[in-house]
Chain A
């Protein structure tokens, strides 16, 4: 009868609920700046260790951090630091965060190749993105209004740039793009545009100028394309690229992160356009147990 059929269907249905598949899979979520790099690292790693599963997804540092807080991923990629408030929220969910630095990035400020400008100070960049300067002529360029390109608020780059350069809020008129690649594409088309992206996205790009930046009007101008300047801190907008994990890592997580920090891993970091970690951060990672 109908009853029996429904019952057996229901039972079959419930059986599908059984344990989660691929409990041993690593879920890595977060920063769009890091995604190409970590994707490359994980693909190499999976080739070396057949049978291991790593899913790397983007969505922005905020997405990754939120996922870590909500206990929905194993590793959160973040191109910014977690805020004290977030660490507290994580603790409330029994997530004790642990930070590892896997690479360095020289955050690059870019303009269209037709824009004759080639350098700015930190102060000028801040004024431009806060919306206090709205014409290129005010910073020594042509008489042409400035169009701002930045990221959505879930981006770690958005937060890092704001906290390190603007020290205030972005102009609400800034175009909010979804990823580094979209900013690069927009700047190539828009002569009046200015944007910021991870250096990995502009190393071989054409049609745009990577600006030299000085920490203040008296300091020297330096380019993020020069790896020595980024490592030494002479280029003023360099930052560590981080991964956050929950407490003591499992064997699988530890093995993957050790691979990232190994000479092979750091070579991939360079191939993807970023910079290997400096001695200072190597020591930091050692303290975190790596």
Chain B
């Protein structure tokens, strides 16, 4: 073998090692959580209230809380994100305003989540007097997911062939008629898929809800949107670092981590299903 072939052999070996490290990182994470978490997870764990200062019982209120917050997040971020994407892709002309909007979106996606949390404390909790509540936390997360929703929705709009629009416009349809009948129906599956992926990230976020509504422990389920709530990621944080008997609740923390990961994966899976189903409906 020539020297340069040996070089190539070693070089590719190094690249393979890099890939191996990435793969093993994921493997280690999933293996550790699943192997140590599955004993704690039972029907009772998912469906019961925490007991004895959260050293026993389940995480039901945390699951419910995360669900409610994610719904609020979706209510804010889906329509606005889609609206913004439609504007950018269908209406906007290239100009400084459009460039400004695009720059803002890119920067918003880079704003640290804890900064969104600070923003939520001032705007929602204090100025709008929503107090620490599901609503404040959900809206904060909604703003955080906005740039992701916009980007995903625009991607979906890009995938609708230009000919669809041209044909409709040529037939004398107005812009809005064209968008409504010939663009959106084809773009919505992609939009939803991207949005659900964004929501799954929001559901796993902790920093923005730390001070906008997540509660350490509540002995009941939230009854309205102005209640505080327990949330899965925050609960994991509490169980891992703040609880007064950390060693004792470690198995519960593992169980919580497992449920959180499974929830996030389920949402990703739903996104794929949604895309598949809606596509099929449209084709018929």
Question: Do these two chains really belong together in a complex?
Answer: yes
Choice from B135, B217, B222, B227 contacting A56 with Cβ under 8 Å: B217
Instruction: Flag if A39 contacts B53 (CB, 8 Å).
Output: yes
> A236 → chain B, closest Cβ, in Å?
26
Tell me if A25 counts as interface (CB < 8 A to partner B).
yes
* Given A36-B53, A178-B242, A179-B242, CB of A21 within 8 Å of CB of B224: yes
Contact digits for A45-59, partner B, Cβ 8 Å, 1 yes 0 no: 000000001111111
Query: For B222, what are the chain A residues with a Cβ–Cβ distance below 8 Å?
Result: 21
Looking at the complex, which one of A16, A25, A29, A56 makes contact with B53 (CB distance below 8 Å)?
A56
Instruction: Verify if B215 is at the interface (C-beta below 8 Å from A).
Output: yes
* A16 pairs with B220, CB closer than 8 A: no
Is B225 among interface residues, defined by CB-CB distance under 8 A?
yes
Q: Are B244 and A32 in contact (CB under 8 A)?
A: yes
Of A112-120, A180-188, A259-267, A278-286, the one touching chain B: A180-188
Known contacts A36-B244, A39-B53, A181-B247; decide if A57 and B217 are in contact (CB<8 Å). yes
**Which B residue's beta carbon lies closest to that of A18?**
B224
Q: A53-B220, A59-B216 are in contact. Are A20 and B247 (CB under 8 A)?
A: no
State how many angstroms separate the Cβ of A94 from the closest Cβ of chain B.
16
A119 to chain B: closest CB distance in Å?
28
Hey, which chain B residues are within 8 Å of A59, CB to CB? Answer: 216, 242
Interface members, chain B 201-249 (any A CB < 8 Å): 215-220, 222-227, 241-247
> In the bound complex, do residue A17 and residue B224 qualify as a contact, i.e. CB atoms below 8 Å apart?
yes
- Interface presence of A148 (CB below 8 A): no
Cα separation A20 to B131 with both chains bound (whole Å): 11
Residue of chain A at shortest CB distance from B242 = A178
Instruction: Convert A39-74 into 0s and 1s, putting 1 for each residue whose CB lies closer than 8 angstroms to a CB of B.
Output: 110010000000001111111000000000000100
Does A181 lie within 8 Å of B224, measured CB to CB? no
Which of A19, A35, A53, A72 is packed against the most chain B CB atoms within 10 Å? Answer: A35
Docked CA distance A158–B241 (Å): 17
Q: What residues on A are CB-neighbors of B224 within 8 Å?
A: 16-21
Asked if B182 is an interface residue, CB under 8 A from chain A, the answer is no
User: How far, in whole Å, are A20 and B218 apart by their CA atoms in the complex?
Assistant: 14
Q: Determine which of B75, B217, B220, B242 lies in contact with A25 in the assembled complex, contact meaning CB atoms within 8 Å.
A: B220
The answer for the CA separation of A21 and B224 in the assembled complex, in Å, is: 7
Complex: chain A residue closest to B227, CB-CB = A21
A85 at the interface (CB under 8 A from B): no
A218 within 8 A of B: no
Residues of B within 8 A of A19 (CB): 224
The reply to whether the CB of B4 lies closer than 8 angstroms to some CB of chain A is no
B200: Cβ under 8 A from any A Cβ: no
10 A-B pairs with C-beta separation under 8 A: A20-B223, A53-B219, A54-B219, A55-B217, A56-B217, A57-B216, A58-B243, A179-B246, A182-B246, A185-B247
* B interface residue numbers (CB < 8 A to A): 52-53, 75, 132, 135, 215-220, 222-227, 241-247
